[in-house]
């Protein structure tokens, strides 16, 4: 049995999604970022009360000639009475996912421990129907953005 091709490895897809959000949201926009944390704020050194953050929730993969990966982006704010900060945060995230309203692309990398990632393709970003502004019992306002990535793969 041969190993999976780099274009259908879930570990490569998830690592590529994480890299995209770290490079653009955490580093590019200095917005605290978490993975698989629901609406819980990520731990940020020196500041326990972040007022806006983004969490990315891993999802499911369908491996085929045109593969798909479903995941969710959750934009969160607190101390945001009218939800204005949440709207701005959503717009920042969407600016990276769909630049200037164009088709967004997340680069697909083959990742390996201790080595540099190798580009193996690109995944088209399809943004699903966003949730309305929601509020949790701890006064965190949030919005859920479902994402589907699609790319050609070798199965």
Structural domain tally of the chain?
Answer: 1
- Is residue 45 in a domain? no
The CATH number that applies at residue 148 is 3.30.2000
- Is residue 1 in a domain? no
How far apart CA 90 and CA 150 sit, in angstroms, is 22
Domain housing 148: 6-40+50-152
Contact between 139 and 78 (Cβ < 8 Å)? yes
Q: What percent of the chain is predicted at pLDDT more than 90?
A: 79
Of 42, 3, 13, 32, the closest CA to residue 120 belongs to 13
Q: What percent of the chain is predicted at pLDDT more than 70?
A: 96
Q: For the residues 42-57, what does the mean pLDDT come to?
A: 85
- Is residue 84 in a domain? yes
Strand pairing partners for 144? Answer: 74
Containing 59, the helix (H) or strand (E) segment is strand 52-62
Containing 96, the helix (H) or strand (E) segment is helix 84-97
pLDDT at 100: 78
pTM over 0.95: no
Could you read off the pLDDT of 65-106 as tens digits, one per residue?
Answer: 999 999 999 999 999 989 999 999 999 999 999 987 678 999
């Amino acid at each position: 049995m041969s190993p999976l091709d780099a274009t259908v490895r879930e570990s490569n897809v998830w690592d590529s999604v994480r890299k995209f959000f770290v490079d653009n949201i955490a580093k590019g926009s200095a917005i605290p970022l978490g993975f698989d944390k629901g609406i819980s704020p990520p731990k940020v050194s020196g500041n326990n009360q972040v007022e806006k953050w983004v969490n990315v929730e891993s999802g499911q993969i369908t491996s085929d000639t045109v593969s798909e990966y479903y995941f969710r982006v959750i934009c969160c704010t607190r101390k945001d009475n009218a939800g204005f900060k949440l709207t701005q945060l959503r717009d920042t995230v969407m600016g990276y996912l769909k630049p200037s309203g164009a088709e967004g692309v997340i680069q697909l990398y083959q990742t390996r421990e201790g080595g540099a990632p190798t580009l193996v393709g690109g995944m088209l970003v399809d943004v699903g129907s966003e949730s309305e502004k929601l509020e949790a019992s701890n006064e965190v306002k949030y919005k859920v953005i479902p994402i589907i990535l699609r790319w050609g793969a070798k199965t």
